[in-house]
Amino acid sequence: MKKASTDLITRQQSRILTAAKQCFSRNGISRTTMRDIAAEAEISLGNIYRYFSNKKALIHAFIERDNQEIGEAFALLDNTKHFKTLLEHIVKEIINELSTKSELYIHLDLLILGLHDKDILALLELDKSEQFLKNSLQKAQEKSQIVLSLSPEITALAIMAFIEKAAIKCISDSNYSKKNAGKQFKKFINLLIGSS
């Protein structure tokens, strides 16, 4: 991997990461070959290595980008007056996205990779999103926007756990729909969070 004009570098890296996401969604991370990504990005195989020194580095970058996106979504919670409503909305979105199967692939693959690889594990900080949520809950509680039945920490954990599980269920259990998941989540939320 060598340097190139910064602009092109970022553009190409981004292009490759987007292609990677496509492939990862389709087949899971570990089943995606560098050649697959190259083909998807319409780039030569060797050229990928100009932008990412190896597969691991590419995955690294991929995770970093992913974390950013999730962070941005949760950031909205800090500036809203209707915390619970927005939370329900965000969660619905996330379940929606995760239950594309494609997203879930990636999500779980990352977990597995993390278990196999300390570096990736560190990067995952196994659930940035949980952190974001916890912080948002805390702030909202301090602002007396909401009343929590349990600590922000447990609440965040429980919520994120619920989301993932529901998403998995949407895919794996044909009797279980996203609508279903949404309704259940509302009830669950009402148990955990009371509005002031």
Partner DNA sequence: GATGAATGAGAATTCATTCAT
Partner DNA sequence: AATGAATGAATTCTCATTCAT
Closest approach of Cβ 59 to DNA, in Å? 10
Per-residue binding string, its own copies, 7-36, x by CB under 8 A, is --------------------xx-xx---x-
Q: Which of 10, 33, 195, 196 binds DNA (CB under 7 A)?
A: 33
Phi and psi at residue 173, in whole multiples of 5°? -110, 110
Closest approach of Cβ 97 to its own copies, in Å? 15
- d(Cα 102, Cα 107) in Å, to the nearest integer? 9
Q: How many residues does the chain have?
A: 196
Q: Which is nearer to DNA, 35 or 143 (CB)?
A: 35
State yes or no: residue 134 binds DNA (CB under 7 A). no
Closest approach of Cβ 54 to DNA, in Å? 3
Residues 140, 146 contacting (CB under 8 angstroms): yes
Q: Which residues contact 22 (CB under 8 A, 6 or more apart)?
A: 40
> Which of its own copies, DNA, none is residue 86 near (CB under 5 to 8 Å by kind)?
none
Q: Which residues contact 71 (CB under 8 A, 6 or more apart)?
A: 128, 129, 132
Q: Which is nearer to its own copies, 20 or 50 (CB)?
A: 50
Q: Which of 49, 70, 97, 188 binds its own copies (CB under 8 A)?
A: 188
Q: Which of 2, 69, 79, 144 binds its own copies (CB under 8 A)?
A: 2
- d(Cα 133, Cα 126) in Å, to the nearest integer? 13
76 to each of 97, 133, 145, how far by Cα in Å? Answer: 18, 11, 15
- Chain positions contacting DNA, by CB under 7 A: 2-5, 8, 12, 31-35, 43-47, 49-50, 53-56
